[in-house]
Structure 1
């Protein structure tokens, strides 16, 4: 795969889009954290969905970091730790 086709896959959502599996939600300070590590080759990228609220008032933030972790379980642990820190730092401002 060439560089251009790889970039095209990232932006088009085509067959080359990374594989992402969601885990069970965790509650933290009124926020819901759903770890969703992205498989990239033999590693996993730190990623999650952070949400708050119900119905029409529900807000979501896609949390994706550059960290690549060799093990899926370790990636989930690091993702939860980083999302909690992110929530502690920004609170509701993470949705702006």
Structure 2
């Protein structure tokens, strides 16, 4: 269980400042809203984000985490947006099924 917690940013050491960070950046791409939500893990920022879109009158959301880590929030957020655009380009609305 601790592996899953650390994978999704839920098991960080709060005393060391690890854990979730609010949405750092946001963009629209092909009708999808991509939010960069990197989180601090082990003194670095883990690449993560959400992709959302209204489908059939219901807001759908897809969360992603990648292995890439950066020393700055800015770098992690930029790559999170890039990865989000890549996911949208490759999967489109199929990611919600």
TM-score > 0.5, shorter chain as reference? yes
More helix by share: 1
TM-score calculated relative to the size of structure 2? 0.77
Match of 1:40 in 2: 41
Give unmatched runs, 5+ long, in structure 1: none
Q: CA RMSD in A?
A: 2.7
Please say if residues 37 and 47 of structure 1, whose CA atoms lie closer than 8 Å, have aligned partners that are also in contact: yes
Name the structure, 1 or 2, with higher relative contact order (CA <8 Å, separation 6+): 2
* Equivalent-residue separation in structure 2 for 1:67 and 1:15 (angstroms): 16
Is the counterpart of residue 79 in structure 1 residue 80 in structure 2? yes
TM-score calculated relative to the size of structure 1? 0.77
Bigger Rg, structure 1 or 2 = 1
More strand by share: 2
Please say if residues 32 and 51 of structure 1, whose CA atoms lie closer than 8 Å, have aligned partners that are also in contact: yes
Aligned pair count reads: 90
